[in-house]
Amino acid sequence: MMARITFQKLDDHSSFFWGLLAIHAVVIALGLGAFLYMEHHGHIVTGMNNAIVWGTPHVFAVFLIVAASGALNVASISSVFNNLAYKPFARLSGILAISLLIGGLMVLVLDLGRPERLTVAMTTYNFKSIFAWNIYLYTGFVVIVAAYLFTMMDRSMSKSGAATKTMGWFAFVWRLALTTGTGSIFGFLVAREAYDTALMAPLFIAASFLYGLAFTVLVLLTVCRETRTNLMSEEMIEKFRGLMIIFALSVLYFTAVKHLTSLYAAEHHGVEAFILWNGGIYTASFWLGHVLIGNVLPIVILAFLAGENKVLTGRTGIAISSVLALVGGLAFMYVTIIGGQAYPLDLLPGMEVESSFLDGVVASYTPTLPEVLLGIAGVSVAMLVTGLALKVMPFLPRAAQPE
């Protein structure tokens, strides 16, 4: 029989906890400073230009938004698929999803050319734009997940479980729409050969599962240290290990399908060769970052090196794999977002084109410190919001109870 789950806030603070929060606060301050600097001088102080119009901030923003929807996984598995083992972590998963989304959106907004016109974006609205739809998908996500958390935490509502289940379903469907929407931002760009595939959405969904789980695991391990208790039983570690292997395999699978189908279409040979073979930093990000570090290594570690009587404990193995998956995730965003823009547009197929506007050549882009700081600040915002939320409300389970 399963023990009744009780929840706790973080209230006994170690210097470790405050230290972490302080680091995040400093990073956020640096990021805001970077924003003011960019805002004052214009985007000229970034590495972006008229060919690479979305730079490092977008890499972080899209990464966080994708991870946000994935972070909800644990909650979904618990209430939608009725798996009680995940229930203790459902609340954490919800609040983490909201925090990651807030972090990503902050970066997205602060990277606008005219961030002070955000109200314009919210009042004048072009229904045809998938970008505009995303504004609603994102705000809706926060509201729905918050309501979902409420049904989990409110005494009378959580008793019956019906409300939680309904909201859980709703949030589950919504997060799929959200990731599809984010993937479609790229899918809609007919002129950009790198994105010209319907496989963008499933690939993003698979990636979101992986990154969301990696964030969840890392946050859990960090708070374990803070509460000095073992929040995750060995069985739970085993479950997360299995899930992560499956998610990484599916990312690899969709990556392979996407590139193989693109190779099949002759007009995409150029861009495929660029990403897979001769694109320099983008090829490296793809193979070393996305494929090797982000997926193959975590799979190898989790499947062969970690677990009982192996080189690594399950806990260490999953911690290392999570970090690797997130690093690989950033590389995946980098090659997708920036590599996709760096490859020149084909203005006159079959002809060689040159111009003062740098047509026909691979665009160069070197990120500058301010944009990197702004991007990292997004991650810190997500972590700080999570940290503070864990402090003010009971999102965390008490120590793992043997089943």
Partner 1 sequence: MSMKFEFPETCSEGAACGCAESDARPVAVAPAPTDVEHATVNVDPVEVGRRWFLKASAAFTTTILAPGVTLMAFGEADSAHAKPADQPVSAKQRWGLLIDAGKCEQGCKACVTACNEENGIATPKNLATDAQWIRTLQVKNPENGSTFQMPFMCQHCSEPPCVDVCPTGASFRRADGIVLVDRHICIGCRYCMMACPYKARSFVHEPLHDQKPEVPRGKGCVESCTMCVHRVDEGGTPACVEACAKTGNAAMIFGDLHDPNSEIAKRIATYRTTRVRADLGTDPGVFYQNI
Look at residue 306 and give its three-state secondary structure. Answer: strand
**Cβ proximity to partner 1, 338 vs 383, nearer residue:** 338
**Cβ proximity to partner 1, 20 vs 130, nearer residue:** 130
Tokens of 8: 């706790």
CA 187 to each of CA 20, 48, 58, 180, 199: distance values in angstroms, whole numbers, following the listed order: 38, 22, 16, 10, 8
User: Partners of 312 in the beta sheet?
Assistant: 306
**Cβ proximity to partner 1, 196 vs 272, nearer residue:** 196
Q: Which residues bind partner 1 (CB under 8 A)?
A: 41-44, 48-51, 53-54, 112-115, 117-118, 120-132, 135-136, 185, 188-192, 341, 345-359, 363-364
**Cβ proximity to partner 1, 65 vs 244, nearer residue:** 65
Contact 168, 76 (CB under 8 A): yes
Look at residue 355 and give its three-state secondary structure. Answer: coil
Q: How far is the CB of 71 from partner 1 (least distance, A)?
A: 25
Handedness of CA 198, 201, 207, 209 (dihedral sign): negative
Q: How far is the CB of 266 from partner 1 (least distance, A)?
A: 14
**Cβ proximity to partner 1, 88 vs 340, nearer residue:** 340
Q: How far apart are CA 103 and CA 219, in angstroms?
A: 15
Q: How far is the CB of 102 from partner 1 (least distance, A)?
A: 18
User: Partners of 8 in the beta sheet?
Assistant: 396
Q: How far is the CB of 15 from partner 1 (least distance, A)?
A: 42
**Cβ proximity to partner 1, 365 vs 395, nearer residue:** 365
User: What secondary structure letter does DSSP report for 182?
Assistant: H
Residue among 42, 364, 355, 396 at smallest CA distance from 219: 396
Q: How far is the CB of 120 from partner 1 (least distance, A)?
A: 5
Q: How far is the CB of 169 from partner 1 (least distance, A)?
A: 22
